[in-house]
Amino acid sequence: MKNLDSVLAAYLAGWAIFFLYYVSVARRMSNLRDEVERLKGLLSKRK
């Protein structure tokens, strides 16, 4: 079928953008959770 590769490329690009964005949000969330734990530990030590 003519242009089928272009159609697949378009769908894959869309799917990849959303997937990578979701992974990036999850990674940033994980980093921030670690930072919260670190800061809480620091504050409790000072008290």
Partner 1 sequence: MVKSIIKAVILFALIAATAYIAFNYAPIEKSMGVIQKIFYIHIACAFSAFVAFGTCFYANVRYVFTRQAKADWLGVAAAEVGLMFILVVLITGPIWAHPVWGIWWTWDARLTLTFVLGLLYVSYLLLRSMIEEPDKRALFSALFGIFAFLDVPLVYFSIRWWRTQHPQPVILGGAGSGLEPRMRVAYLLMWGALTGLLILLMNARYKLEALRASVEELRREAEVQ
At 19, list the tokens: 């997937």
HSE, CB side, 13 Å, CA atoms: give it for residue 2.
Answer: 0
Is residue 1 a contact point for partner 1 (CB under 8 A)? yes
Q: How does DSSP classify residue 10?
A: H
Residue 15-44 contact track with partner 1, rule CB under 8 A, x = bound: x-xxx-xx--xx-xx--xx-xx--xx-xx-
At 37, list the tokens: 């734990």
| Contact set with partner 1 (CB under 8 A) | 1-4, 6-7, 9-11, 13-15, 17-19, 21-22, 25-26, 28-29, 32-33, 35-36, 39-40, 42-43, 46
